[in-house]
Amino acid sequence: MSHISTCYAVCDKVGVIEEKLIESPINWSIAYDQILSMDKRDLEHYEKNLLGSFPNTYTFTKRMAEHLLVEHNKQKRIPLVILRPSIIGASLEEPVPGWTDSITLAGGIYLIAGLGILKELPGEENYIGDQVPVDIVVN
């Protein structure tokens, strides 16, 4: 079984991050049950407390999913791999170069640049774009 997570699931850590389940002070099963029992108003009110050192719900829930998958898989013992790509971008080759089914994140930037709306995108020339083509992740 494979699960596509994100490298940002470990954004609360610094330095070299090993490719393994990252220990956490949170009991994810309890956190999951607690979140399911809350109504929307309570979730909004306690969001900052729930997230702790995570910058957003995306990174928080990705880490939660990794831990819950491992926990629920302990007795079944099904081989499990967790993939942590960075931002998943348009395809390199398959099904055709540049294919995407979404205009979120980087895809939105590519769209408005391609339409001529975005004329310039300031950036540091030595920075590396943090994207992996979707077909590379899938393959």
Give the CA count within 13 Å in the CB-facing half-sphere of 40. Answer: 0
Is residue 53 domain-shared with residue 104, that is, in the same domain? Answer: no
Is residue 21 domain-shared with residue 79, that is, in the same domain? Answer: yes
Rounded to two decimals, what is the model's pTM? 0.77
Is residue 61 domain-shared with residue 126, that is, in the same domain? Answer: no
pLDDT at 91 over 80: yes
6-49 tens-digit pLDDT: 988 998 888 888 888 888 889 999 999 999 999 999 988 988 88
Question: What is the span of the domain harbouring residue 109?
Answer: 87-138
For position 135, what pLDDT does the model report? 93
Using CA atoms, how far apart are residues 102 and 59, in angstroms rounded to an integer?
20
- DSSP E strands, the chain: 2-4, 81-83, 87-89, 131-133
Point out the catalytic residue in the list 32, 62, 110, 119: 62
Is residue 58 domain-shared with residue 123, that is, in the same domain? Answer: no
Respond yes or no on whether the N-terminal peptide bond of residue 95 is cis (omega within 30° of 0): yes
Is residue 109 domain-shared with residue 122, that is, in the same domain? Answer: yes
Using CA atoms, how far apart are residues 88 and 68, in angstroms rounded to an integer?
23
Task: Please count the residues of the chain.
Answer: 139
Query: Is 8 a residue of the active site?
Result: no
Is residue 102 domain-shared with residue 60, that is, in the same domain? Answer: no
Domain boundary among 41, 57, 83: 83
Q: Which residues pair with 84 in a beta bridge?
A: none
Point out the catalytic residue in the list 8, 32, 46, 58: 58
Domain count, the chain: 2
Query: Is 32 a residue of the active site?
Result: no
Q: Which residues pair with 131 in a beta bridge?
A: 87
110-122 tens-digit pLDDT: 788 889 999 988 8
